Chain A
Amino acid sequence: EPEVTQTPSHQVTQMGQEVILRCVPISNHLYFYWYRQILGQKVEFLVSFYNNEISEKSEIFDDQFSVERPDGSNFTLKIRSTKLEDSAMYFCASSTTSGTNTGELFFGEGSRLTVL
């Protein structure tokens, strides 16, 4: 069964360092997303990406964050200068159509980011 894969599964970094989280969405999917979940909190939307550009972003997704699809398969989330409060599980998701309508987002297993 096709799945969304994410690397690394866990990354520990020092405050102020840059981090890149990688995702390989399901191959025939067109919509890509990043969500995050701080431990014990709800899953929060960060950004959606379609047709090689951001289609929507939340207030969490400030100038420290960026997304890229550099090679047609990988979908990356970069955090330029990490803060303690960026510590969370970051989930990548993809869907065939806009998740708004179908609700069926396929999530990866997540990348746990710990900022010290």
Chain B
Amino acid sequence: RKEVEQDPGPFNVPEGATVAFNCTYSNSASQSFFWYRQDCRKEPKLLMSVYSSGNEDGRFTAQLNRASQYISLLIRDSKLSDSATYLCVVNSGGGADGLTFGKGTHLIIQP
């Protein structure tokens, strides 16, 4: 099972700022990409899927660069409630069922 790499942070960002994270993946056969959010000592929850053309969901924008094998997440107008760990997740390719998680980027929004 191939790796997914993320900057662990923490990213300390003032409320209202824009913040971006990147993630790189090593398995070129990966076909599906996602960002999950995990609050401290809680379960991961799907934030958004990442599509080849890029996609936006409110203040969140995800981008995929297949050639360079990286995925990005941009958060605009950050809120205190955005403080969490953001997990980059890819499928394993080859029809495998399980998902491969990155270790996560820890984001702290400061008032």
Contact = CB atoms under 8 A, between A and B. Distances in A.
Interface of A: 31, 33, 35, 41-45, 47-48, 50, 55-56, 58-59, 89, 91, 98-105, 107-110
A45 B46 contact: no
Contacts, number: 73
B32 A101 contact: yes
A48 B45 CA distance: 18
B55 interface: no
Interface string B20-57: 00000000000111100010011111100100000000
B34 A103 contact: yes
A101 B32 CA distance: 6
B73 interface: no
A57 to B, nearest CB: 9
- Range class of the B interface residue count: 20 to 34
Given A42-B104, A99-B97, A103-B99, 12 more contacts: A35-B101, A45-B101, A47-B98, A56-B96, A56-B97, A58-B1, A58-B98, A89-B41, A100-B99, A103-B91, A104-B46, A110-B42
Contacts of A44: 101
Contact of B103 (A42, A103, A105, A110): A42
25 contacts: A33-B97, A35-B101, A42-B87, A42-B101, A43-B38, A43-B87, A45-B1, A45-B98, A55-B97, A56-B98, A98-B97, A100-B32, A100-B92, A100-B95, A100-B97, A100-B99, A102-B49, A103-B33, A103-B34, A103-B46, A103-B99, A104-B46, A105-B44, A109-B42, A110-B43
B63 to A, nearest CB: 16
Contacts of A56: 96-98
